[in-house]
Amino acid sequence: MAEDAPTVAVINAGGWGTALAVKLANQGYGVRLWARRPEMASRIAAERENRDYLPYVAVPPNVQVSNDLACVLEGTDTVVIAAIASFVREVARRLRPLIRPNMLLVHGTKGLEPDTWMRPTAVLLDELGTEIGTRVAVLAGPNHAEEVARGLPAAAVLACIHPETAVRAQQLLATEWFRVYTNTDVIGVELCSAAKNVVAIAAGIGDGLGYGDNSKAALLTRGLAEVWRLVEHYGGTRATVSGLAGLGDVVATCTSPHSRNRWAGEQIGRGRPVKEIIASTPMVIEGIPSTRAVVEVARRAEVEMPICEGVYRVVFEGKRPDDALSELMARGITSEG
């Protein structure tokens, strides 16, 4: 690492945060990774590996790990937030006294805040002030942490209402193996990132029930149509839904063995109770709270999302998965659109 290399702060040492820290360190940046728990920070620093959330991936020596947020942010003008949706507000409150003018914030959260159903960017603006909106970019797309950390070829999208900020974040993250596109449709990107989690649970349920490729293709296609209806209602664009945050992430999340949401759906399809599934892994299955949030947002807007409604009934009302999918197939026939 060059002595004059800029320093990037990465907030939250989960799987995605650790993967981004590893990626940025391998690009030559100095990286400071913030862990919520002191013992976790000490363990990652000593072992140079995040065994809980990203095992078998070496954490480079130019990644400093700390539980002291002020130290992590000292001297940097770039902050990458990799928090789950339910933790974004707490992160923002901790950041509030430490934020400086011209600081770039990039978040990679894929979900909506529980209870308020707010998008992550809206939560950040709610806590840090609306004036920071031009300095917040959203990282999204088909990016499994395991593959990003290993340097496998991938593509992503960075959305910001201010094009210059999007370009600044793009220059931070783009490499010869990680292609980054810009977008100004923040609402569409964030809604896609949340709703695709629900479609992935539906796809996994089909896997657990032993359904084939035809049914999965139908679920993905019609699920994406539901995502489009939601995004359109809230002012997003069709290009976003057909791009990396929409179609790209739906394909990756619904088909990959790395996908926790697809895995959770598969376990549900095999008859395993939801509470047991949640308790069996230290990882957050973002699709479960996303299901409630996306369905509530759709109901509020009177947007029809029958696949997501079916997942909601299975996850939160105890409906049998095969009955829910049978109901979907029995819906009145109509035109494609």
Determine contact, residues 17/23, Cβ cutoff 8 Å: no
Active site residue 196: yes
Q: How far apart are CA 57 and CA 53, in angstroms?
A: 10
Q: Which residues contact 233 (CB under 8 A, 6 or more apart)?
A: 301, 303
Residue 154, classified by CB atoms within 10 Å of its CB into exposed (0-12), middle (13-18) or buried (19+), is: buried
Residue found under tokens 């939250």? 12
What are the C-alpha distances in Å from 317 to residues 65, 160, 310, 311? 42, 37, 10, 9
* 79 phi and psi angles, rounded to 5 deg: -125, 125
Q: Indicate which residue of 110, 196, 216, 319 is catalytic.
A: 196
For the CA atoms of 328, 309, 107, 37, the dihedral, rounded to the nearest 10 degrees, stands at: -110
Residue type, 204: G
Q: How far apart are CA 213 and CA 216, in angstroms?
A: 5
Q: Which residues are tagged catalytic?
A: 196
